A and B are shown apart, each in its own frame.
Chain A
Amino acid sequence: MKDSTNITLTPPRRASQHAGLKLWLSPGIWITLLLVLLVGLLPVITGNAATREVIFTMLLSVVLATNLNIILGYTGYVSFGHVVFFGIGGYTGLFMLSQYNAPIWLALFAGGLVAGTLAFLVGKAILRLRGAYFALATIGINEAMRAFVGNFPPFGAATGISLNFGIYQDYGGAAQALWMTYILLLGLALFSVILSYLIKTSKFGLSLLTIREDEDAAEVIGVTTPNAKTWSYVISAIIPGMVGVLFFFKNGNIEPAEAFRLNTSIETIVMVMLGGQGTVLGPVLGAAGYQRLRGFLLTNPLFKDIQLSVAGLLLLLIILFIPSGAVGWLRKRFPRLRKVLQ
């Protein structure tokens, strides 16, 4: 009896405030943030455009993998067609830019909004499916969207949307626009990492992790699973929608086959798996590592032609022998690192 009164006497709010402060002192978040920031600032410091292009691809993957990890790693739902949000965001943004001459920040906002809304509507329906059925449904959504956009005249149907080159003049010319796009992407990458960490350490994140472990048990202990699942899906869709705008703004044009490429989705899953799903650092490491490897294989004369096969073989070996990914493996192998590697 005495024990139970003790528990009720502890003011819960103070405890959580304390935890809130601790959150920001935890090394887990700083390691990841500093890693992204340092690599991201590299081209800004050197002013080298070639480095910038390399890091741009890497940061793009970091954003996609980190956000996919929210639904895949935390909630445990394998969204196989996640590229649909990247694509629809890109289309929305380019539509606004080309038709209404909208400023880039408005296009970014619209891209995120449409991606989030789509995730909400689709999620309400398909998050009732479990396991492989959900994965198949997300593939179906992506393919349906790709086919639909290819027939949708406002989005340029099969030819897509091309930006007028003059649009870059508003941002001080094409060279300046590229740098601005890069800085915006770096900002979104840092924001994704912070968001991922905040979710993981929040009560909401805890309910997601519970769903991942056992959805029925989560429901029994009071998690409103449909809402939690839908919101995690929506959150994981918004920033990919925004970087879709950035990517295709930089690209200058968008077409269905490129915007909704199913392989992009699967590659993103691979990155999350490589680094370690359900961790904050994992997707970042996985994305950077995968792109480094791809770059190496593509430029290596021995592997150039068969880079896809070599990547496939490595992936197979990792799935067979290190299924929890790099961070998961480190955490298991060196328990002391668990405090540091989130």
Chain B
Amino acid sequence: MEFNLAKILPFLIDGLLIGFVYGIAAMGMTLIWGVMKVINLAHGAIIALGSFFVYLLFVGPFQLHPYISLLLVIPIGLLFGMLIYFLSIHRVINAPYLSTLLATFSVNMIIIGLGTAQFSTTPRAIDFSLGTFHFGSITVLGTRLFAAGAAVVLTAALYLFLFKTTPGKFVRAVANNRAAAELMGIPSSRILALSFGLGTMLAAVSGGLIATFFPFTILSGGTYQLKSFVIGVLGGLGDPLGALLGGLILGALEGLIPFYMGTSWVPVVEFVMFVLILLVMPKGLFGAKK
């Protein structure tokens, strides 16, 4: 199989564009891990809820434009995440990590259970298109281009928040050393809730973006949650920018692997890589630089 750039490039670009969206979902997961050492097993369910939120507003009586719904997802996702934090995680935040794992898993069960009862598991899709764009011989779907752009804007906004605002600095301080941050008078509970809200918001937004170009069910978040784990480990757990880069790597792999072996081998490569990186470079691919 020869290396034919002209043939490969469209798939690579497609993969990279989707990789941006994976990156956002993973960024939410990694942010939560970085700040409070919680692996959020409700992440996938929240991604699916994000998809459904955009879908329901689109098909409902309002016929809301998906991108306007996405703007609504941001505050709602944030508040929803804070609610989850106070209801399920706050009490066990200092318990052994198995407790937080299972607490988030039980939230996952609750959402999936209600979601399945309400929406069944028939695949849904948003009938919406931004047309296609041509760059030379390469054709790109408008929705994917927009999603990648939104991912970049969101990442930039997150970094501005984390580095330029006081609450953002609080978040970083709590991530760095919660006990010390508390001694400095930082309200750590509220900051933890805020961080969980931010992570949830990122998951929900990525779900909303996914809904604009892939069909989905209430269960499909599980796949993206597993991808978030892989990406989070690739980029180094706790590093939001690493997550975006990890998302791009995963997207590129998903675009390229089908050229060399069957599509069904993609998850094999992904998860073998995941375990190997955990073993060899637990700080992630870019961890060495810091």
Other-chain contact of B110, A126, A136, A273, A313 (Cβ < 8 Å): A313
Closest to A138 in B: B275
CA distance A332 to B186 in the complex (A): 36
* Interface check B175, CB cutoff 8 A: no
In the complex, chain A residues 241-293 whose Cβ is within 8 Å of any chain B Cβ: 266, 269-270, 273
A331 to chain B, nearest CB (A): 18
The reply to whether B101 and A78 form a contact with Cβ atoms under 8 Å apart is: yes
- On whether the beta carbons of A315 and B233 are closer than 8 Å, the reply is no
Whether the Cβ atoms of A129 and B272 lie closer than 8 Å is no
Q: A129-B279, A320-B103 are in contact. Are A140 and B271 (CB under 8 A)?
A: yes
Q: Are B271 and A143 closer than 8 Å at their CB atoms?
A: yes
User: Distance in Å from the Cβ of A153 to the closest Cβ of chain B?
Assistant: 12
Is B133 close to A, CB under 8 A? Answer: no
Per-position binary interface string of chain B over residues 110-137, scored 1 when its CB falls under 8 Å from any chain A CB and 0 otherwise: 1111101100000000000000000000
Query: Looking at chain A, what size class is its interface with the partner chain?
Result: 35 or more
The residue of chain A having its C-beta at the shortest distance from the C-beta of B90 within the complex is A320
A129 and chain B: residue at smallest CB distance: B278
A337 at the B interface (CB under 8 A)? no
Q: Is B108's CB within 8 Å of the partner chain A?
A: yes
Is A5 on the interface with B (CB-CB < 8 A)? no
Q: Is B267 on the interface with A (CB-CB < 8 A)?
A: yes
Binds A, one of B71-79, B92-100, B163-171: B92-100
A57 within 8 Å of B (CB atoms)? no
Within 8 A of A (CB), among B34-48: 37, 39, 41
Q: Is B275 within 8 A of A316, CB to CB? A: no
- B279 with A128: CB separation less than 8 A: yes
Q: Which residues of A contact B (CB under 8 A)?
A: 78, 80, 125-126, 128-129, 131-133, 135-137, 139-141, 143-144, 146-148, 150-151, 158, 266, 269-270, 273, 305-313, 315-316, 319-320, 323
Q: List 14 A-B contacts (CB under 8 A).
A: A135-B101, A136-B274, A144-B268, A151-B264, A307-B113, A308-B113, A308-B116, A309-B113, A310-B113, A311-B109, A312-B113, A315-B106, A315-B109, A316-B103
Question: Chain B: residues with CB nearer than 8 A to chain A?
Answer: 33, 37, 39, 41, 88, 91-92, 95, 97-99, 101-103, 105-114, 116-117, 226, 229-230, 233, 262, 264-268, 270-272, 274-275, 278-279, 282
- A308-B110, A309-B113, A313-B110 are known; give 8 further A-B pairs, CB within 8 A: A136-B274, A140-B229, A147-B266, A308-B113, A309-B117, A316-B110, A319-B102, A320-B103
